[in-house]
Chains A and B, each alone.
Chain A
Amino acid sequence: MITEHPHDSHGPDKGLMRWVVTTNHKDIGTLYLWFSFLMFLTGGVMALIIRSELFQPGLQLVQPESFNQMTTMHGLIMVFGAVMPAFVGLANWLIPMMVGAPDMAMPRMNNFSFWILPFAFGLLLSSLFMEGGAPNFGWTFYAPLSTDFGPPSTTFFIFGVHMMGISSIMGSINIIVTILNLRAPGMTLMKMPLFVWTWLITAYLLIAVMPVLAGVVTMMLMDIHFNTAFFSAGGGGDPVLFQHIFWFFGHPEVYIMILPAFGVVSAIIPTFARKRLFGYESMVYATSSIAFLSFIVWAHHMFTVGIPIAGELYFMYATMLIAVPTGVKVFNWVATMWQGSMTFETPMLFAIAFVVLFTIGGLSGLMLSIVPADFQYHDTYFVVAHFHYVLVPGSVFSVMAAVYYWLPKWTGNMYDEALGKTHFWLSFIGINITFFPQHFSGLAGMPRRIPDYALQFADFNMISSCGAFLFGFSQLLFLFIIIKTIRGGEKATEQVWEGAHGLEWTLPSPAPYHTFATPPSDLNDAHG
């Protein structure tokens, strides 16, 4: 080995080009996380436009056509631009450090998979300024609304989705190869931290379903521009086929957005309970079962399209089964907390809120699986409340928990605990004020995706809008805390948290630009 200039003494390039040409997993992780935050704010502004319009009955702020563009873009940006890149960013930062690898397996591809994203979203967002407006058919873009009746910008949306898909697939390949080939010698699969496990499974889900999404948007492209009739009844096609293909992608997609969150929470709870995760192995098996089940339940999004009874029953039973492995996870987290020695720093607060609020979202999901009841819930605000509970205090809270948890390792500085806790409580209160009343307006009969509503829904909508503004503006505090931490603060120790386990905590804080050029040898504590 060359000893005079050890590889890990090379620092980053100088100037802005560092970020353009970087192949360093930490730089790319940072890029992904900032990009995700930018998209989170962009999608958030759209959410606030939606909530402003819905503050009271009547049309005040936006016309219905703009409203539909806002709901569509909000969904697309939050799913593909905010949540997914946030988890890829965490994967980039953490997986090599957690498995004792020097970097991702394919660093140049890593750079490429990130840099596609700004162009993909540039394409998508530019449609807001085009004649005919942005896509306005919901993030689920059901045909024929999106094909025969879509605005001209639909084509830009399709290319945008293609680019996001390429980015995701390349990112997943990179993650799988890194995990399978670059683990430190002696680290067996069952010694990997759960975050690595959940991402391994998520990456396989992505590789399996992103091509399906690419397929369905390509069929749309053909229907729009080349006179095919995949989804047009007039030409012998089938609009319901669109929904089957879309949800064959769409259901695994929702697990893509939650499995890494499970990994994050499974790292944080043991740390602050100062106690090992109760059932590591059963968590691995539960995650795999959820991933498997995600492929065979897609039509539960389509109970009202007129599926024969045998199909309805099958999809109902299969969907209900998901409650079993999900329950195993929740029980494991509770059992980990039980008889621990807990402290409640900001990451722990977000993780506990995750468990509680994700479980509420899971239970409303169980209610939605009951077909006869779903006929009443379907396409109402009850569904909106359900998926926002699993996505916002679910996925998004887990990302925030992760940022607070690993930020000292990334920056070398502790964040301001008092501000962090303030951010937590504002977010926690805001999110519940926003989404809890939506269960009621949904049960009372308010359909989703409407710009104006009957008077009986007025009170709940007003409360919901107030909560949304509280939650939205609290995120500026989050931004402030992050910048403040990057710029300085109390120096973090190597281990940062008293109860933290895992290889990343054996590295100095901040983690040097290159880590584990020599694989670590002590792996006993690798998964905590």
Chain B
Amino acid sequence: MLLGGNAAMADWAVNMTQGVTEISRQVYDLHMIIFILCVVIGIVVFGAMMVSMILHRKSRGAVPATFHENTKLEYLWTVIPIVILVVMALPATSTLQDMYDAGESDIDIEVRGIQWKWQYTYLNDDPAKEVRFVSSLSTPRDEIENRATKNEFYLVEVDEPMVIPINKRVRFLITSEDVIHAWWVPAFAVKKDAIPGFIHESWTIVDEPGIYRGQCAELCGKDHGFMPIEVHAVSEEDYEIWLAEKQEAARVVYETIGKEWTFEELMATGETVYQQSCAACHQLNGEGIPPVFPSLKGQGLAVGPIAAHTDIILNGKAGTAMQAFGTQLNPAQLAAVITYERNAWGNNLGDHIQPSRINEILSGGAQ
């Protein structure tokens, strides 16, 4: 369905990418103009120094001149830089104006930074058709910890990429759940801080299909280096097919909430969810990294009353890194992971919770 292109990676070696949007090419040109001007200035200044260091050395018998202060020269070397700066400022101003000219968008995507993943919501006037998913690093721990060979897209690959159509104006509404993150895709020349309490706007029109990768660009805690961005730009038809599939999948998930899950089903799903959403802090063995990330093995809420355990998973704990997963995971995933935590690593409480119960709690039902 998607083009497996990595052409954008090819010219990433030593210079800024030209990118795949009108804006990103303007930015690249601007970067090259300033860069070349700086190189020329450097050559002139360092050239003069080199000449002086070769010719005017005592070992060659140079006798020091006595000149100092020359008003004309000093005016000259004040005015010339000002002229150069104006020459730089003009194209920079016009590019910036183009970037800030948002206009009417075709697609609105809410981008929400959450320690340490991105949640994308394709806004739709009809809430039933709203697609929401979390996109997190898919590189296996074994590659990070050097137990397996690193693949080509090491650390810049995700489980579920953002998908957008080409030639459409896509608006990103960028915000954060916890700390400040920054959503950056170099190929679009889009970098915007995701700040809790703010919704910032950015936009792009991609003209080439492909896979474009970026990373979080603002220090956001422990796994700042492990929250990549992957955007698949596809043809409009492919986008519509993808969107329809996602909407259908959302509907199916909704239906699974009603059914009665077996303990084994919950444990199996729970293990997957735990690895994706919990293991970064609480570790695969459940022992955490105390005192910042508490152990779940044989202690704390995971072996306490199930109501309190459910509450912290759904609503998080203010002032800590423990997030509110109620909005990130679907009820089936939530029920599964709670069940898993209560029965893994020798916790063996034997109890479980059903997705339907989670749904009741989320929709305001009493605990």
Minimum C-beta distance from B111 to chain A (A): 13
**Known contacts A68-B219, A142-B219; A313/B49 CB under 8 A:** no
**Known contacts A328-B78, A452-B155; A342/B56 CB under 8 A:** yes
**Known contacts A59-B144, A305-B195; A338/B220 CB under 8 A:** no
**What chain A residues lie within 8 Å of B82 (beta carbons)?**
324
> What would 27 A/B residue contacts be, using CB atoms closer than 8 Å?
A68-B221, A137-B219, A144-B179, A144-B180, A145-B179, A233-B196, A273-B56, A275-B64, A279-B69, A279-B70, A280-B68, A306-B193, A316-B89, A324-B81, A331-B45, A339-B62, A339-B65, A339-B67, A356-B46, A372-B27, A375-B189, A376-B31, A445-B186, A447-B184, A447-B217, A454-B215, A456-B13
**Known contacts A281-B69, A341-B62; A447/B49 CB under 8 A:** no
Report whether A454 and B56 are in contact in the complex, using a CB–CB cutoff of 8 Å.
Answer: no
Closest Cβ neighbor of B191 among chain A residues: A375
**A524 at interface, CB cutoff 8 A:** no
**B34 at interface, CB cutoff 8 A:** yes
Minimum C-beta distance from A311 to chain B (A): 11
- Please tell me which one of the listed residues B15, B56, B222 contacts residue A337 in the complex, with CB atoms under 8 A apart: B56
Please report the C-alpha to C-alpha distance between residue A331 and residue B74 in the assembled complex, in whole angstroms.
Answer: 9
Report whether B68 and A276 are in contact in the complex, using a CB–CB cutoff of 8 Å.
Answer: yes
Report whether B191 and A378 are in contact in the complex, using a CB–CB cutoff of 8 Å.
Answer: yes
Minimum C-beta distance from A114 to chain B (A): 33
- Please tell me which one of the listed residues A281, A323, A340, A449 contacts residue B64 in the complex, with CB atoms under 8 A apart: A340
**B63 at interface, CB cutoff 8 A:** yes
Minimum C-beta distance from A307 to chain B (A): 10
Q: Which 9 A-B pairs have the closest CB atoms?
A: A233-B197, A450-B225, A339-B65, A306-B200, A363-B38, A379-B217, A372-B95, A341-B64, A145-B179
Pick the interface stretch among B96-104, B248-256, B326-334, B348-356: B96-104
**Known contacts A145-B180, A335-B73, A366-B34; A352/B191 CB under 8 A:** no
**What chain A residues lie within 8 Å of B146 (beta carbons)?**
58-60
- Please tell me which one of the listed residues B152, B225, B321 contacts residue A453 in the complex, with CB atoms under 8 A apart: B225
Report whether B223 and A274 are in contact in the complex, using a CB–CB cutoff of 8 Å.
Answer: no
Report whether B38 and A366 are in contact in the complex, using a CB–CB cutoff of 8 Å.
Answer: yes
Report whether A343 and B145 are in contact in the complex, using a CB–CB cutoff of 8 Å.
Answer: no
Q: Mark B207-245, 1 if CB is under 8 A from A, else 0.
A: 000000111111111111110000000000000000000
Please report the C-alpha to C-alpha distance between residue A18 and residue B226 in the assembled complex, in whole angstroms.
Answer: 52
**B26 at interface, CB cutoff 8 A:** yes
Report whether B196 and A234 are in contact in the complex, using a CB–CB cutoff of 8 Å.
Answer: yes
Please report the C-alpha to C-alpha distance between residue A390 and residue B223 in the assembled complex, in whole angstroms.
Answer: 29
Closest Cβ neighbor of B10 among chain A residues: A456
Please report the C-alpha to C-alpha distance between residue A149 and residue B114 in the assembled complex, in whole angstroms.
Answer: 13
Minimum C-beta distance from A490 to chain B (A): 20
**B143 at interface, CB cutoff 8 A:** yes
**What chain B residues lie within 8 Å of A274 (beta carbons)?**
58, 64
**B59 at interface, CB cutoff 8 A:** yes
**What chain B residues lie within 8 Å of A338 (beta carbons)?**
48, 52, 56, 65
Please report the C-alpha to C-alpha distance between residue A145 and residue B177 in the assembled complex, in whole angstroms.
Answer: 12
Minimum C-beta distance from A304 to chain B (A): 5
**A444 at interface, CB cutoff 8 A:** yes
**A37 at interface, CB cutoff 8 A:** no
Closest Cβ neighbor of B198 among chain A residues: A306
Q: Mark B68-86, 1 if CB is under 8 A from A, else 0.
A: 1110011001100110010
**What chain A residues lie within 8 Å of B30 (beta carbons)?**
370, 372-373
Closest Cβ neighbor of A141 among chain B residues: B219
**A355 at interface, CB cutoff 8 A:** yes
Report whether B92 and A279 are in contact in the complex, using a CB–CB cutoff of 8 Å.
Answer: no
- Please tell me which one of the listed residues B16, B200, B217, B222 contacts residue A443 in the complex, with CB atoms under 8 A apart: B16
Which residues in chain A, 170-208, are within 8 Å of chain B measured between CB atoms?
A: none
Q: Mark A420-460, 1 if CB is under 8 A from B, else 0.
A: 00000000000000000000100111011111111110000
**Known contacts A59-B144, A281-B69; A342/B153 CB under 8 A:** no
Report whether B178 and A149 are in contact in the complex, using a CB–CB cutoff of 8 Å.
Answer: yes
Report whether A328 and B52 are in contact in the complex, using a CB–CB cutoff of 8 Å.
Answer: no
Minimum C-beta distance from B84 to chain A (A): 8
- Please tell me which one of the listed residues A64, A337, A373 contacts residue B92 in the complex, with CB atoms under 8 A apart: A373
Please report the C-alpha to C-alpha distance between residue A111 and residue B225 in the assembled complex, in whole angstroms.
Answer: 44
**What chain B residues lie within 8 Å of A276 (beta carbons)?**
66, 68
- Please tell me which one of the listed residues B14, B59, B221 contacts residue A440 in the complex, with CB atoms under 8 A apart: B14
Among A234, A274, A356, A375, the one with the most B-chain Cβ atoms within 10 Å of its Cβ is A375
**What chain A residues lie within 8 Å of B97 (beta carbons)?**
309
Please report the C-alpha to C-alpha distance between residue A282 and residue B319 in the assembled complex, in whole angstroms.
Answer: 53
Minimum C-beta distance from B34 to chain A (A): 5
**A220 at interface, CB cutoff 8 A:** no
- Please tell me which one of the listed residues B49, B70, B200, B318 contacts residue A356 in the complex, with CB atoms under 8 A apart: B49
**A277 at interface, CB cutoff 8 A:** yes
Please report the C-alpha to C-alpha distance between residue A133 and residue B220 in the assembled complex, in whole angstroms.
Answer: 16
Please report the C-alpha to C-alpha distance between residue A338 and residue B23 in the assembled complex, in whole angstroms.
Answer: 44
Report whether A149 and B196 are in contact in the complex, using a CB–CB cutoff of 8 Å.
Answer: no
Closest Cβ neighbor of A237 among chain B residues: B197
**Known contacts A334-B48, A335-B73, A370-B88; A58/B144 CB under 8 A:** yes
Report whether B49 and A337 are in contact in the complex, using a CB–CB cutoff of 8 Å.
Answer: yes
Report whether A238 and B319 are in contact in the complex, using a CB–CB cutoff of 8 Å.
Answer: no
**B268 at interface, CB cutoff 8 A:** no
Which residues in chain A, 30-83, are within 8 Å of chain B measured between CB atoms?
A: 57-60, 64-65, 68
Minimum C-beta distance from A161 to chain B (A): 18
Closest Cβ neighbor of B80 among chain A residues: A327
- Please tell me which one of the listed residues B15, B81, B145 contacts residue A327 in the complex, with CB atoms under 8 A apart: B81
**A371 at interface, CB cutoff 8 A:** yes
**A312 at interface, CB cutoff 8 A:** yes
Please report the C-alpha to C-alpha distance between residue A325 and residue B168 in the assembled complex, in whole angstroms.
Answer: 46
**B9 at interface, CB cutoff 8 A:** yes
Please report the C-alpha to C-alpha distance between residue A372 and residue B26 in the assembled complex, in whole angstroms.
Answer: 9
**What chain B residues lie within 8 Å of A356 (beta carbons)?**
46, 49
**What chain B residues lie within 8 Å of A304 (beta carbons)?**
182, 191-193, 217
Report whether B292 and A151 are in contact in the complex, using a CB–CB cutoff of 8 Å.
Answer: yes
- Please tell me which one of the listed residues A65, A366, A454 contacts residue B289 in the complex, with CB atoms under 8 A apart: A65
Report whether A306 and B57 are in contact in the complex, using a CB–CB cutoff of 8 Å.
Answer: no
Which residues in chain A, 77-128, are within 8 Å of chain B measured between CB atoms?
A: none
Closest Cβ neighbor of A499 among chain B residues: B64
Among B85, B200, B225, B320, the one with the most A-chain Cβ atoms within 10 Å of its Cβ is B225
Report whether A376 and B27 are in contact in the complex, using a CB–CB cutoff of 8 Å.
Answer: yes
Please report the C-alpha to C-alpha distance between residue A278 and residue B48 in the assembled complex, in whole angstroms.
Answer: 15
**A512 at interface, CB cutoff 8 A:** no
In the complex, besides A317-B89, A452-B144, 18 extra interface pairs with C-beta distance below 8 angstroms are: A58-B146, A59-B145, A59-B146, A68-B219, A145-B221, A239-B197, A279-B70, A330-B45, A339-B56, A339-B64, A341-B58, A372-B30, A372-B96, A376-B27, A379-B184, A447-B217, A449-B219, A453-B225
**Known contacts A151-B292, A320-B88; A342/B195 CB under 8 A:** no
Report whether A68 and B222 are in contact in the complex, using a CB–CB cutoff of 8 Å.
Answer: yes
Among B9, B15, B52, the one with the most A-chain Cβ atoms within 10 Å of its Cβ is B52
Minimum C-beta distance from B97 to chain A (A): 7
**A482 at interface, CB cutoff 8 A:** no
**Known contacts A142-B219, A359-B45, A452-B155; A327/B150 CB under 8 A:** no
Minimum C-beta distance from A390 to chain B (A): 14
**What chain B residues lie within 8 Å of A343 (beta carbons)?**
57-59
Please report the C-alpha to C-alpha distance between residue A277 and residue B68 in the assembled complex, in whole angstroms.
Answer: 7
**B337 at interface, CB cutoff 8 A:** no
Report whether A57 and B17 are in contact in the complex, using a CB–CB cutoff of 8 Å.
Answer: no
**What chain A residues lie within 8 Å of B12 (beta carbons)?**
444-445, 456
**A321 at interface, CB cutoff 8 A:** yes
**What chain A residues lie within 8 Å of B95 (beta carbons)?**
372
**What chain B residues lie within 8 Å of A340 (beta carbons)?**
52, 56, 62, 64-65
Report whether A376 and B81 are in contact in the complex, using a CB–CB cutoff of 8 Å.
Answer: no
Q: Mark B167-207, 1 if CB is under 8 A from A, else 0.
A: 00000000000111010101001111101111010000000
Please report the C-alpha to C-alpha distance between residue A330 and residue B44 in the assembled complex, in whole angstroms.
Answer: 12
Report whether B52 and A444 are in contact in the complex, using a CB–CB cutoff of 8 Å.
Answer: no
